Amino acid sequence: MQRVAVFASGSGSNYQAIMEYLANQSHPNFEVALLISDQPKAQVLERAKTWETKSYAVSVKAFPSMSQFEEAILHQLWEADIDFLVLAGYMRLLGPTLLNAFRDKIVNIHPSLLPSFPGKDAIRQALDYGVQVTGVTIHFVDEGMDTGPIIYQRPVLIDSSETADSLSTKIHTIEHEMYPQIIAACIRNLEGHE
């Protein structure tokens, strides 16, 4: 069974969805062995306690450089014998320290049909731009912002009366349904190539 670390900065709704998915699988091919947060007061840490997931929360401000921040995280990943990284609302670009250690073993979820609306607040960007369709993208992580190879996309229609809240709810529903399944599929594919 592959050992996964989930990275999250906020409420952790995708982490919660992953844990609920695993709880309902008779033979899961991965387990969440560690939660990493760059926000020591993030709500996701409370969720991790509920699920009894070991967590490591540390602010980048506690380190003189980004590379030292990532070295501290990497040490935690090695200590926990982590095989695969899952970004779930982690609001920070990964640097070379983590990217090189987990090349082709890091996935992210983004609330738009990339390459449209990368970066922060993609839902608001889509509404402001006036598009009729946005969506969800799951992709491998590379050096860029939401630029890695796309694994899966699903469109979401935007109604004329859509608000940021209603569109967020639609998108999160799809994220919570699809992300755990796609993670499991990526890990199956990874195991087939090892």
CATH number of the domain encompassing residue 30: 3.40.50.170
Question: Active-site residue 110, yes or no?
Answer: yes
> Model confidence over 40-92: pLDDT tens digits?
999 999 999 999 999 999 999 999 999 999 999 999 999 999 999 999 999 99
The predicted pLDDT at position 190 comes to 81
- Count the Cβ atoms, other than its own, within 10 Å of residue 174: 16
**pLDDT surpassing 90 at residue 142:** yes
**pLDDT surpassing 70 at residue 194:** no
Give 28's pLDDT tier (boundaries 50, 70, 90): very high
**Overall average pLDDT of the 108-137 stretch:** 95
Q: How far is CA 48 from the centre of its chain?
A: 15
- Which one of 27, 75, 110, 139 is the catalytic residue? 110
Give 30's pLDDT tier (boundaries 50, 70, 90): very high
Mean pLDDT of all residues belonging to the chain: 95
**pLDDT surpassing 90 at residue 192:** no
**pLDDT surpassing 70 at residue 29:** yes
What's the domain range around 126? Answer: 2-193
Mind giving me the DSSP string for the chain? -EEEEEE-SS--HHHHHHHHHHHT-SS-SEEEEEEEES-TT-THHHHHHHHT--EEE--GGGSSSHHHHHHHHHHHHHHTT--EEEESS--S---HHHHHHTTT-EEEEESS-TTSS-SS-HHHHHHHHT-SEEEEEEEE--SSSS-SPEEEEEEEE--TT--HHHHHHHHHHHHHHHHHHHHHHHHHHHHHH-
Give 189's pLDDT tier (boundaries 50, 70, 90): confident
Report how many domains make up the chain.
Answer: 1
Give 193's pLDDT tier (boundaries 50, 70, 90): low
